[in-house]
Amino acid sequence: MVAQYFAHVDTWVFDLDNTLYPPSADLFGQMDGRFSAYVARLTGLDHTAALVLCKEYWNAYGSTLTGLIAHHDVDPHHFLADVHNIDISHLQEDASLQAAIKGLSGRKIVFTNGSHNHAKRVLAARGLTSSFDAVYGVEHADFKPKPSHDAFRSVFAKDGLVPQKSAMFEDEARNLAVPHALGMRTVHVHPQAEPDHYIHHHTDDLADFLSQLAR
């Protein structure tokens, strides 16, 4: 049974976007448009070229924001407020996920590369606000994004968690490399499995997976 691999866990760390709601919600479809519009205004590029630049920064730095800070001296607070100004009214509460998270023994936290405000909005829409003991946005990592080691070090130090007694749930496989190296149990939450040495488990149904860990 999968539960035996989590018997030592007392802190459960969850990514937000495409992890605590299904990818079919397509919030990034909206955010990509706002990313490219922002970069187009900033650089004078057309929207297609701006989106290409966004992707280049995401690949190189882990987030578009980090590239914009490094190369364009962007105010991160202004950028995050702009790109997260999206419609999330189609997100629905998920009673199964609520129950599964509630059944976990220990602390539950959210750690996202998005803003703290974005996380709060999404959690409220999903009916998960009371499910978590703490919510950390990229600002809590001094705007250093996952998958960088500094991002995890900053947030984990603020939270006081012990990695060897923690588990990480992420839709971005590369964001599990550092948690694995730190001794965390890692779970890739994604429609497609991506086998790698730093991924212990994969699921395409988070609520079902968590329901097997209740104790």
For residue 194, pLDDT beyond 70: yes
pLDDT at residue 215 tops 80: no
Taking the model in full, what pTM does it have? 0.95
Per-residue confidence at 104, pLDDT binned at 50, 70, 90?
very high
CATH 1.10.150.450 domain position(s) in the chain: 27-83
pLDDT at 144: 93
Helix (H) or strand (E) holding 110: strand 107-111
Percent of the chain's residues with pLDDT above 90: 92
- Classify residue 190 by its DSSP letter: S
Could you tell me if 21 and 205 are in contact, meaning their C-beta atoms sit under 8 angstroms apart?
A: no
Q: Could you give the residue range(s) of every CATH 3.40.50.1000 domain in the chain?
A: 2-21+92-211
Q: What is the tens place of the pLDDT at every residue in 120-173? A: 999 999 999 999 999 999 999 999 999 999 999 999 999 999 999 999 999 999
CA distance 18 to 178: 19
DSSP string, 9-51: --EEEE--TTTSS-GGG-HHHHHHHHHHHHHHHHH---HHHHH
Domain 2-21+92-211: CATH superfamily, name plus number: HAD superfamily/HAD-like (3.40.50.1000)
> Pairing state of beta strands 166-170 and 11-14?
parallel
How many angstroms separate the CA atoms of 105 and 36, rounded? 41
The neighbour count for residue 92, using CB atoms within 10 Å, is 12
Q: Is-contact 110 14, C-beta < 8 A? A: yes
User: What is the chain's mean pLDDT, rounded?
Assistant: 96
CATH topology for the 27-83 domain: DNA polymerase; domain 1 (1.10.150)
pLDDT, mean of residues 80-87: 96
Cβ neighbours for 137, distance < 8 A, ≥ 6 positions apart: 112, 114, 115, 116, 117, 118, 119
The pLDDT of residue 123: 98
Over the stretch 37-47, which tens digit does the pLDDT of each residue have? 999 999 999 98
